[in-house]
Amino acid sequence: MKALELATIIRNKTKTNSTTFTDADMLIDVNLFKDEIASKIQRIRPENWNMPAYNNLIADQREYSFPSDIMNNIVKVSLKFGTASTDKFVRTFPIKRNDYLDTLEETKIVSDFTNDEPNYFIRRKAIYILSGTIISVTNGMLLVYNAFPADLTSMTENTLEIEADPTTTSHGFPREFHELLARRVSIEYKDRNDIVLSRKELQYETDLQNQLDDFSIVNLDQQITGNLPSSTNDDGYDL
């Protein structure tokens, strides 16, 4: 579905036109509730929003801000501490800040940690690296995180599919939730204007949960086999 098609569906549901429900106002609502639904998808299928991103390591800098589109989870942090072609990324593991009670002085950190087994903790929406000495390394940090789907930029766009990834570093919005997104925007519009909801809009939460349940099943090529208890004197039944 394209943004223009989504706008048409929303206006059909709300019985509006481009004057009574402008493209600018609709775009705000669409992006707002796109993120709301995406957050619900993240709970049942977080890998859907996994996004790898590279960041430069800067000499003697230990704190690095989160990407602006981060949803709520970091999946993995890997670091490369050298510039040689043979240098490899090293997986670094999180710890809690109160698990490291020493002061965050450079001399103390490099004496307690190495670049072979680095750690990090989270503070102020940033990653704080605990390792040996850090030098400048282009693309020396590989961060895998859950990213919000990209915002729509126009409700008149009639070329790009909403479900398609706009770039190699951003997500589209799943086709399975397009009608639900349109319905959610319609509910918000009617709520603001004291308009009675339709029967289908009243069952939005139920339909959304049903779609989330369906979407949570990623791989049908998995089998779960239940085995009966072996025939022994202990049959698990208590008198």
Question: pLDDT tens across 150-199, in order?
Answer: 999 999 999 999 999 999 999 999 999 999 999 999 999 999 999 999 99
pTM: 0.82
| % pLDDT > 70, the chain | 91
Cα–Cα distance, 150 to 143 (Å, whole number): 18
For 24-46, what is the mean pLDDT?
A: 97
Confidence of residue 209 (pLDDT cuts 50, 70, 90): very high
Radius of gyration, alpha carbons of the chain? 24
Mean pLDDT of 135-156: 97
7: exposed, middle or buried (C-beta count within 10 Å: 0-12, 13-18, 19+)?
buried
* Position 88, amino acid: K
Go through the chain and tell me how many residues it has: 239
Gap between the Cα atoms of 213 and 207, Å rounded: 10
Asked if 212 and 44 touch (Cβ cutoff 8 Å), the reply is yes
Residue 58 near residue 65, CB atoms below 8 Å: no
Mean pLDDT of the chain: 91
What are the tens digits of pLDDT across the range 65-105?
A: 999 999 988 999 999 999 999 999 999 999 998 889 889 99
The per-residue pLDDT for 124 is: 85
For the cut 90, the answer to whether the pLDDT of residue 239 exceeds it is no
Instruction: Please report, for residues 51, 52, 69, 196, the alpha-carbon distance to residue 147 in angstroms, rounded to integers and kept in the order given.
Output: 6, 9, 5, 35
Identity of the amino acid at 160: L
Q: Is the pLDDT of residue 107 over 90?
A: yes
User: Which pLDDT value is given to residue 73?
Assistant: 84
